[in-house]
């Protein structure tokens, strides 16, 4: 073979060899090692302790259900059933101890994240009931007329 074939081949082999060598120093030796290999995707047995100490920031609706059943029941049977409580009320990291009550974002922008009219007829986002923010009660909070816990009702 001519040298014009060997040179690129040698370059490729050097690059692949360098990557394999660097991998030995960068990737932890226990990465992906767990009974059946990569069964748990990117798994590293040596960082289990880190994850045990990791504080969960978001708790999901199930966390809120026991204490706030009066709000939970209507919302799980409404159009807002796919929205987590913490999307509006903030993370329940230390609730109910600290803060004793979660703050509620009543800003118009929070509702408009989903309810501003968007012309996307081919996506699911286009199927949501939208409003023109400049024409629909500008300057007012949405919760003045609408109950987010009972969105199927028009107003309260």
Does 153 reside within a domain?
no
For residue 40, pLDDT over 70 is answered with no
For residue 73, pLDDT over 60 is answered with yes
Does 154 reside within a domain?
no
Does 124 reside within a domain?
yes
43 shares its domain with 75: no
Domain coverage including residue 88: 61-144
For residue 34, pLDDT over 70 is answered with no
Q: What pLDDT was estimated at residue 16?
A: 97
Domain count, the chain: 2
85 shares its domain with 139: yes
> pLDDT (tens digit, 9 = 90+) per residue, 110-150?
888 888 877 776 766 667 777 888 888 888 888 888 888 77
| Ramachandran bin of 60, using left for φ above 0, alpha for ψ from -120 to 50, beta for the remaining angles | left
> pLDDT (tens digit, 9 = 90+) per residue, 77-104?
888 888 888 888 878 776 766 556 777 7
Cβ neighbourhood burial of 111 (10 Å; 0-12, 13-18, 19+): buried
Average pLDDT of the chain is 79
For residue 105, pLDDT over 80 is answered with no
71 shares its domain with 43: no
For every residue of 75-111, DSSP letters joined together read HHTSTTTTS-THHHH---SSTTTSSSS------HHHH
Bridge partners (DSSP) of residue 44 are: 31
Confidence of residue 62 (pLDDT cuts 50, 70, 90): confident
Q: What pLDDT was estimated at residue 41?
A: 62
Query: Alpha carbon 44 to chain centroid distance?
Result: 23
- What's the rounded mean pLDDT across residues 49-72? 84
42 shares its domain with 76: no
């Amino acid at each position: 073979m001519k040298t014009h074939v060997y040179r690129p081949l040698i370059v490729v082999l050097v690059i692949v060899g360098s990557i394999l060598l660097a991998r030995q120093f960068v990737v932890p030796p226990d990465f992906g090692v767990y009974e059946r290999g990569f069964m748990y995707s990117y798994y590293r047995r040596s960082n289990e302790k880190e994850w045990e100490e990791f504080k969960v920031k978001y708790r999901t609706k199930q966390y809120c259900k026991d204490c706030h059943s009066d709000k939970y029941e209507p919302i799980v049977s409404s159009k807002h059933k796919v929205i987590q409580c913490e999307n509006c009320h903030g993370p329940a990291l230390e609730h109910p101890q600290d803060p004793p009550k979660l703050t509620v974002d009543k800003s118009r922008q929070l509702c408009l994240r989903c309810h501003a009219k968007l012309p996307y007829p081919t996506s699911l986002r286009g199927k949501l009931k939208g409003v023109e923010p400049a024409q629909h009660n500008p300057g007012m909070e949405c919760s003045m007329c609408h109950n987010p816990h009972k969105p199927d009702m028009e107003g309260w």
